[in-house]
């Protein structure tokens, strides 16, 4: 029977994934797109006469992917928007636990308080379709178990009614050493389109390579299942589609802002260069009276404009990178990196905008008559 998304079955019912296989998630083709993941193991228990669910997971676990790479996984990275009043327990803190805010409110729990949890005869496990997974024999839970409340957790989800504890302790308590029931993965993906929803079995070799080498949620899930055959990986399309719609709208908004910013920058440059031309009318007239051609006069102004565009492009690139980093961190919980390939693009765009804004003032400067200017 499923209640609140939790499947109440004996501890040995169904299938489990080996905890040791999770490091393979960082060895697939799109490993760099996987930004966070955390395993889950669910155990029913009784706390002060109330039935609760104890979730075993990683809080901040360092995994050695290879000799040169260490990846930090766990709930802190997977759910950066979760709020904890108090402190997060450590993964090696066998006595530490987080208590959901609604459960804490009902039972008047607070950080530092000791909990006495009594395990029931069966552990509840989240429903996760798994093929060829290991199954564990049913066995009674150790009873009771004591935890110290390290913090009060607020997520806005079902975790607000549950208790979260280090995975290793929950595994030991449930008699499921090295086993996990479910793994949640956060990955950077491309919004799904018609091609992403194609039947993989009917794709040609070229089409399959294109699908496989595109970071769709479905293609990443396909690679995960290849890396961990015991699991059946399924994208959460509601989340992926929502993020895709958000990204599309943000992209349109950013495009409009870019157009408006470029137009404003061109007007600012035109205003500044026009003021410069008016201030230096006498100099321009003197140059031309001494034999300077229009090309030489234009070269002076274009050189000044190029210097301005270079400085503006560099400043704009670093400021834009900082703002993008802050925006991505605030909206998606994942900061973006510094992409140096965009620096020459920014410089070229700044030069084009500056030249466009300089065109009108420069045309007026070249039309000035030396005799009129010097007479004035």
Number of domains in the chain: 2
Residue ranges in the chain assigned as alpha helix (H): 75-78, 101-107, 167-174, 205-212, 217-227, 237-279, 281-289, 294-331, 342-366, 370-375
Residue 297, in any domain of the structure: yes
Residue 218, in any domain of the structure: no
Residue 46, in any domain of the structure: yes
The structure tokens 């404003």 sit at 264
Return per-residue pLDDT of the chain as tens, 376 residues: 333 333 433 334 447 889 999 999 999 998 888 989 999 999 998 888 888 999 999 999 999 988 888 999 999 999 888 999 999 999 998 889 999 999 999 999 989 999 888 876 444 444 333 333 333 333 445 567 888 999 999 998 889 999 999 999 999 888 889 999 999 998 888 877 788 878 888 888 899 999 989 888 888 988 998 888 888 888 776 555 566 667 677 778 878 888 888 888 888 888 888 888 777 777 777 777 777 777 887 888 888 888 888 888 888 888 888 888 887 777 666 666 777 888 888 888 888 888 888 888 878 777 777 666 666 5
- Regarding whether 308 and 161 lie in a shared domain, the answer is no
How many CA atoms lie less than 13 Å away from 3 in the CB half-sphere? 8
- Regarding whether 305 and 165 lie in a shared domain, the answer is no
- Regarding whether 40 and 164 lie in a shared domain, the answer is yes
- Regarding whether 246 and 371 lie in a shared domain, the answer is yes
- Regarding whether 322 and 179 lie in a shared domain, the answer is no
User: CA 117, 59, 114 angle in degrees (round to 5)?
Assistant: 30
Tokens of 203: 């794709």
Tokens of 96: 């530490």
- Regarding whether 159 and 60 lie in a shared domain, the answer is yes
Tokens of 276: 């410069």
Q: What are phi and psi of 245, to 5 degrees?
A: -65, -40
Residue 51, in any domain of the structure: yes
Residue 72, in any domain of the structure: yes
Domain extent, residue 256, equals 241-375
- Regarding whether 9 and 154 lie in a shared domain, the answer is yes
Q: What are phi and psi of 154, to 5 degrees?
A: -125, 115
- Regarding whether 182 and 62 lie in a shared domain, the answer is yes
- Regarding whether 152 and 279 lie in a shared domain, the answer is no
CA-wise closest residue to 309 among 338, 339, 272, 277: 272
- Regarding whether 174 and 290 lie in a shared domain, the answer is no
Residue 193, in any domain of the structure: no
Residue ranges in 79-216 assigned as alpha helix (H): 101-107, 167-174, 205-212
- Regarding whether 289 and 358 lie in a shared domain, the answer is yes
Residue 367, in any domain of the structure: yes
- Regarding whether 275 and 154 lie in a shared domain, the answer is no
Burial status of residue 96 (CB atoms within 10 A of its CB: 0-12, 13-18, 19 or more): buried
Tokens of 291: 């034999």
Residue 231, in any domain of the structure: no
Report whether 352 contacts 305 (CB < 8 A): no
């Amino acid at each position: 029977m499923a209640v609140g998304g939790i499947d109440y079955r004996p501890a040995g019912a169904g299938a489990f994934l080996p905890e040791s296989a999770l490091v393979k998630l960082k060895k697939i083709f799109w490993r760099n797109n996987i930004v966070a993941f955390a395993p889950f193991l669910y155990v029913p228990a009784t706390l002060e006469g109330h039935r609760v669910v104890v979730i075993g997971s990683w809080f901040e676990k360092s995994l050695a992917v290879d000799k040169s790479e260490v990846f930090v996984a766990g709930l802190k990275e997977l759910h950066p928007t979760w709020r904890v009043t108090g402190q997060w327990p450590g993964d090696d803190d066998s006595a530490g636990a987080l208590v959901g805010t609604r459960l804490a409110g009902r039972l008047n729990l607070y950080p530092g308080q000791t909990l006495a949890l009594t395990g029931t005869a069966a552990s509840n496990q989240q429903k996760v379709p798994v093929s060829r997974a290991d199954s564990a024999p049913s066995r009674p839970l150790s009873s009771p178990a004591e935890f110290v409340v390290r913090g009060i957790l607020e997520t806005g989800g079902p975790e607000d009614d549950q208790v979260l504890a280090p995975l290793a302790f929950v595994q030991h308590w449930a008699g499921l050493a090295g086993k996990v029931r479910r793994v949640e993965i956060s990955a950077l993906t491309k919004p799904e389109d018609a091609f992403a929803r194609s039947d993989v079995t009917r794709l040609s070799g070229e089409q399959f390579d294109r699908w496989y080498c595109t970071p769709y949620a479905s293609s990443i899930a396909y690679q995960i299942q290849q890396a961990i055959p015991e699991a059946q990986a399924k994208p959460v399309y509601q989340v992926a589609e929502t993020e895709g719609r958000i990204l599309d709208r943000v992209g349109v908004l950013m495009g409009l802002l870019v157009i408006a910013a470029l137009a404003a920058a061109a007007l600012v440059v035109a205003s500044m260069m026009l003021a410069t031309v008016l201030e230096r009318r006498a100099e321009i007239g003197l140059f031309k009276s001494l034999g300077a051609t229009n090309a030489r006069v234009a070269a002076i102004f274009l050189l000044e404009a190029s210097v301005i565009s270079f400085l503006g492009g560099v400043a704009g690139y670093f400021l834009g990178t900082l703002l993008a980093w802050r925006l991505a961190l605030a909206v998606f919980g994942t900061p973006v990196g510094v992409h140096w390939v965009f620096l020459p693009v920014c410089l070229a765009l700044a030069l084009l905008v500056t030249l466009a804004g300089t065109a009108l003032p420069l045309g007026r400067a070249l039309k000035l008559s030396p005799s009129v200017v010097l007479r004035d």
